[in-house]
Amino acid sequence: MHSRTSRSRQLFERAVASLVEGGSSPSRGPANYGDNPLFIERGAGAHIWDADGNKYLDWMMAYGALPLGHAHPRIVEAIVEAAQGGTLFAAATGIEIEVAEMLRRMIPGAERVRFANTGTEAVMAAIRLARGFTGRPKFIKFEGHYHGWYDDFLVNAHPQPVASLGHPHDPVKIADSSGLNRRALEDTVVVPWNDLQAVERALEINRGQIAAILSEPVMANMGVIPPAPGYLAGLRRLATEHGALLILDETVTGFRIAPGGCQQHFGVAADLATFGKALGSGLPVAAITGRAEIMDGFAWGGVLHYGTQNASRIGLAAALASLRELQRDSGAAFTHLWRIGEQLVAGLNDAFRETGTRAIAQGIGPMLQVLFTDRRAISDYREFCAYVDRGKYRRLALALFEQGVYMSPSAALHSVSSLAHTEDDVRFTVDAVRKVLGDGGF
């Protein structure tokens, strides 16, 4: 591998002198990629090229931020045109209205919209808004769900030894970082996911204190774990019964699963929903949407939410172009995303059976992950921690780099299909997986 990526290695050795771990996020450094992280120089469609000129079929797509693929002509055109008129005004602009109106048409229950820059910021604002609206201090956060790196919800979001998690009725809170405010997690109630009885128990124990139930609609930072049938509807019912808000964090699933996100796909109505990643199609754009009576709490004198970069005109130009493409021909893009994703899952599972590999490809529509496990499915965080061999997956992903296939080396993350991927890309990937598995070690 090192001989193919000598330029990346040189860049990494240079980077560590100026950048912590040689980069600006642990996910793109040694923690995932080992001692020779790849440096990517350009992308087009479904492919990327590293600093050594090696070409890869990209199934990561910037962690799901690129539903149309790399350098889509409409996105590039929109960014260039917007930049020619000025990069930032920090003032009201017409495109802000246009994108907000489009989101209201697309997303169920989006009576009001507020823009931010990242999914982390959007969830921070949503939690503050929920506390302000309800006058309650606590919120429910699920094991294995990652909502960004803010203190209040940076807990039980990464794989841990099962023995350290405590009893499911009373999970041990495991902070995911040093330096958290020592009281930050006092009002965070951690509960196992896909277990309605656990949620009901937590609501009863903290009766009258829970401002919101915060959940990813699909667990997307522990591989890909879909909700059990009726689970999201159950969260909706319990939130209503206990006077709490239901917040769906669609930072990952938004503009991938359906035009209106998981609220549309699963038929569940959230009080608030947060979006990021795919919304900006590669630029930092996020949004909070929801019921007008709640969202209007952001009005001056209520729940404070500032941001000089909020609703940047270049980011919104990219978002508008992307949303138009995704809705073209009655949303044909989503049909394509699902078809490619499901074909890849089926092809990978065929390859595992044919090679006698103890692994599964699990996903929903355009989101999927390879899980090295003896189980037929993984349904929650504790099962992921107990039964998934993350080391084997990492070896597979790194071996696939040499075959020209790019997937995140972290088993806790996942792969995504884009509008740029084709059925030939699926076949190429499955053939590469067969070859790597055939070489042994799995």
**Catalytic site residue from 50, 58, 249, 271:** 249
How far apart, in whole angstroms, are the C-alpha atoms of residue 337 and residue 256? 8
Sheet holding 367-371, edge to edge: 360-364, 367-371, 415-416
- CB contact set of 100 (below 8 Å; sequence gap of 6+): 113, 115
Q: Which structure tokens are listed for 168?
A: 């499911």
Catalytic annotation on 277?
Answer: yes
Q: 122 near 195, Cβ under 8 Å?
A: no
At which residue do the structure tokens 């990643």 appear? Answer: 277
- CB contact set of 139 (below 8 Å; sequence gap of 6+): 127, 130, 131, 152, 187, 188, 189, 210, 211, 212, 213, 214, 247
CA distances (Å), origin 353, targets 187, 348, 360 = 46, 9, 9
Separation of first and last alpha carbons in the chain: 19
How far apart, in whole angstroms, are the C-alpha atoms of residue 71 and residue 68? 8
How far apart, in whole angstroms, are the C-alpha atoms of residue 265 and residue 268? 8
**Catalytic site residue from 33, 146, 381, 406:** 146
**Catalytic site residue from 138, 141, 277, 392:** 277
How far apart, in whole angstroms, are the C-alpha atoms of residue 121 and residue 106? 22
Where b means 16+ CB within 10 Å and e means fewer, 146-155 reads: bbbeebbbbb
Catalytic annotation on 176?
Answer: no
How far apart, in whole angstroms, are the C-alpha atoms of residue 28 and residue 18? 16
Residue 250 parent element (H or E): strand 245-250
3-state helix, strand, coil in the chain (%, to 5): 40, 15, 40
Cα-to-chain-centroid distance, residue 28: 15
Residue 181 parent element (H or E): none
- Bridge partners, 47 (sequence order): 44, 57
Q: Are strands 40-44 and 47-50 parallel, antiparallel or unpaired?
A: antiparallel
* Cβ atoms within 10 Å of 89's Cβ, excluding its own: 11
Q: Give catalytic residue positions.
A: 146, 249, 277
